[in-house]
């Protein structure tokens, strides 16, 4: 079928859709899907769908445990309906898939959430429908892995009976200065007409503008290298921190000096977790290896960043031994569990590995986080955490500031030092305080 025939079918099937006539279904209401659904729900009839009934009940009551939406956002999204019933999705003309794309224990792509969402789309999509994927994947996943599922379940033909687009998510959890409408959106579609439609659709909610990619594969690749590039850059800084630690030089002082040059990329060493930077490069590595090429820089960067929790504990142990502190049985307070500061998200947090390495050395770690949901932590990791800093008492041999939430940092280094035994170690992993206030920094 040639493109002109394809375009005619598209026009006939959709009857030249406009944003005023379509109903959008957003599948997956996490950190990505919820802000997206709320943004569309302010202008276009939108159904926010999630299989988690408790999540739907909370959102219907105006409660967002991810802290991405404010009460005003719920009120302004007058055209948004929250639902866990697939039957409501049958009303939709456009489906936007925003589900997680995690990795397995062997660090390979886990497409099950994405494929399950594609089955939902297949059961609900009708002739002329459009499915847009936002989940981060390797180039080709949309059309090679997801679309065949939609075809199989729906009985419809791709680019004949239904169409697809890809617009990668660019949500930065916890970043109130860069909400969804202020971040440029990359758009793409399976035909030129679909590309225009997808781009027009997102322009309704994105004040920063959009960028049309030439194909779905290009848009997929653009997204995955955003996080891969950042992962590689952080790996360089993390490796430098190991080098400088061996030389007895504070890495952060070196970075402060180097950053005085205009073209120096300023990053800090630290743990690299979360659902993006710590995961997405594995998708690209997997796809590259399937073509016969092993991407050494990307793979090595992942190894360096994945090893930083172990390296941090070794540095702590070395300093404690140097101070004649017994390591076995030492009490350690780990402050912060989420994968980044000022965010309640604990997915793929490397602090869990930090705690595990402490225990392997015979230490007894307590964990406190002022942002994380203790119930969620117990469910995910089987760990009990505190919600506030202990009141005082010199009971800890070491305090590790692993995640510098602003409310913790605002209390000052002295607040953490008051929890230490005389001679105890304050390990400021992200250099939140001056070097004079800390005993150890990455």
**Closest by CA position to 278, among listed 218, 222, 339:** 339
* Equal fold, 3-214 vs 309-442: yes
| Amino acid 3: pLDDT | 41
What is the reported pLDDT for 392? 75
Beta bridge partners of 46: 24, 80
Which residue in this structure is represented by tokens 């150890």? Answer: 440
- Give the tens place of pLDDT for each residue, 123-165: 999 999 999 999 999 999 999 999 999 999 999 999 999 999 9
Residue 6 confidence (pLDDT): 46
d(CA 438, CA 223): 37
How far is the CA of 146 from the CAs of 195, 293, 333, 349, 403, in angstroms? 18, 24, 44, 28, 36
Nearest CA-CA partner of 231 in 264, 263, 177, 274: 274
Identify the pLDDT of residue 11: 45
pLDDT (tens digit per residue) in 270-304: 999 888 898 999 999 999 999 999 999 999 999 99
The 3-state DSSP composition of the chain as helix, strand, coil percent (nearest 5) reads 45, 15, 45
Please count the other Cβ atoms lying within 10 Å of the Cβ belonging to residue 403.
28
What is the model's pLDDT at position 9? 45
**Average pLDDT along the chain:** 93
Confidence (pLDDT) at 21: 84
The total number of residues written for the chain in this structure:
442
pLDDT at 398: 96
- Which amino acids are annotated catalytic? 276
| pLDDT for the residue numbered 238 | 97
Res. 227 pLDDT band, cuts 50 70 90: very high
Query: pLDDT for 3-41, tens place per residue?
Result: 444 444 444 544 545 666 899 999 999 999 999 999 999
Once rounded to an integer, what is the mean pLDDT over residues 370-383? Answer: 94
Q: How far is CA 267 from CA 246, 247, 264, in A?
A: 20, 20, 9
Label residue 177 by pLDDT band (50, 70, 90): confident
Fold of 3-214: Rossmann fold (3.40.50)
User: In the numeric block, which tokens belong to residue 317?
Assistant: 């142990």
Tell me the domain boundaries of the chain: 3-214, 235-306, 309-442
Alpha-carbon span 131 to 25, nearest angstrom: 9
For residue 72, pLDDT beyond 50? yes
Q: Which residue has the higher pLDDT, 56 or 177?
A: 56
Stretch (H or E) spanning 245: helix 216-247
Contact 337, 351 (CB under 8 A): yes
Spatial separation of the C-alpha atoms in residues 266 and 255, rounded to whole Å = 7
CATH of segment(s) 309-442:
3.40.50.720
pLDDT given for residue 8 in this prediction = 47
Beta strands 24-27 and 364-368 are unpaired
- Residue-wise pLDDT for 345-361, tens only, equals 998 999 999 999 999 99
Find out whether 142 and 173 touch, Cβ atoms under 8 Å. no
What per-residue confidence (pLDDT) applies to 18? 64
Q: Alpha helix (H) ranges present in 70-177?
A: 71-76, 86-89, 112-124, 141, 147-154
Residues 6+ apart with CB under 8 A from 105: none
Does pLDDT of 430 surpass 60?
yes
Q: What is the pLDDT of residue 19?
A: 62
End-to-end CA distance of the chain: 59
In contact, 64 and 133? CB cutoff 8 Å: no
1 pLDDT band, cuts 50/70/90, is: very low
């Amino acid at each position: 079928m040639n493109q002109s025939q394809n375009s005619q079918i598209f026009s006939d099937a959709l009857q030249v859709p406009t944003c005023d006539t379509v109903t959008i279904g957003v599948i997956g209401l996490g950190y990505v899907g919820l802000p997206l659904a709320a943004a569309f729900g302010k202008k276009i009839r939108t159904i926010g769908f999630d299989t988690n009934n408790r999540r739907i009940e909370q959102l219907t009551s105006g409660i967002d445990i991810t802290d991405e939406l404010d009460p005003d956002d719920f009120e302004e999204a007058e055209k948004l309906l929250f639902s866990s019933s697939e039957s409501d999705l049958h009303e939709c003309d456009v489906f936007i898939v925003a589900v997680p794309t995690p990795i397995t224990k062997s660090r390979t792509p886990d497409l099950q959430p994405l494929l399950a969402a594609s089955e939902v789309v297949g059961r609900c999509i009708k002739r002329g429908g459009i499915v847009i994927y936002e989940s981060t994947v390797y180039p080709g996943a949309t059309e090679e892995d997801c679309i065949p599922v939609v075809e199989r379940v729906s009985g419809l033909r791709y680019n004949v009976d239904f169409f697809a687009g890809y617009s990668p998510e660019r949500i930065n959890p916890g970043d109130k200065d860069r909400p969804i409408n202020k971040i440029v959106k990359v758009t793409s579609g399976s035909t030129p007409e679909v590309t225009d439609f997808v781009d027009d659709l997102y322009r309704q909610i994105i004040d920063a503008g959009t960028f049309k990619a030439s194909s779905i594969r290009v848009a997929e690749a653009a997204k995955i290298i955003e996080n891969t590039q950042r992962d590689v850059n952080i790996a360089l800084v993390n490796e430098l921190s190991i080098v400088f630690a061996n030389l007895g030089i504070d890495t952060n002082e070196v970075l402060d000096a180097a950053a005085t040059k205009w073209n120096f990329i300023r990053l800090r060493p630290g743990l690299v977790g979360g659902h993006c930077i710590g995961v997405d490069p594995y998708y690209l590595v997997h796809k590259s290896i399937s073509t016969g090429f092993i991407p050494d820089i990307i793979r090595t960067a992942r190894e360096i960043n994945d090893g930083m929790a172990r390296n941090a504990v070794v540095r702590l142990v070395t300093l404690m031994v140097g101070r004649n502190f017994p390591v076995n049985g030492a009490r350690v307070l780990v402050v912060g569990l989420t994968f980044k500061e000022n965010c309640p998200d604990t997915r793929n947090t490397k602090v869990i590995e930090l705690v595990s390495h402490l225990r392997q050395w015979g230490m007894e770690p307590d964990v406190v986080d002022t942002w994380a949901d203790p119930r969620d932590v117990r469910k995910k990791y089987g760990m009990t955490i505190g919600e506030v800093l202990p009141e005082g008492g010199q009971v800890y041999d070491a305090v590790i500031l692993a995640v510098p939430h602003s409310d913790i940092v605002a209390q000052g280094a002295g607040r953490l030092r008051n929890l230490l035994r005389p001679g105890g170690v304050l390990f400021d992993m992200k250099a939140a305080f001056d070097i004079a206030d800390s005993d150890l920094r990455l």
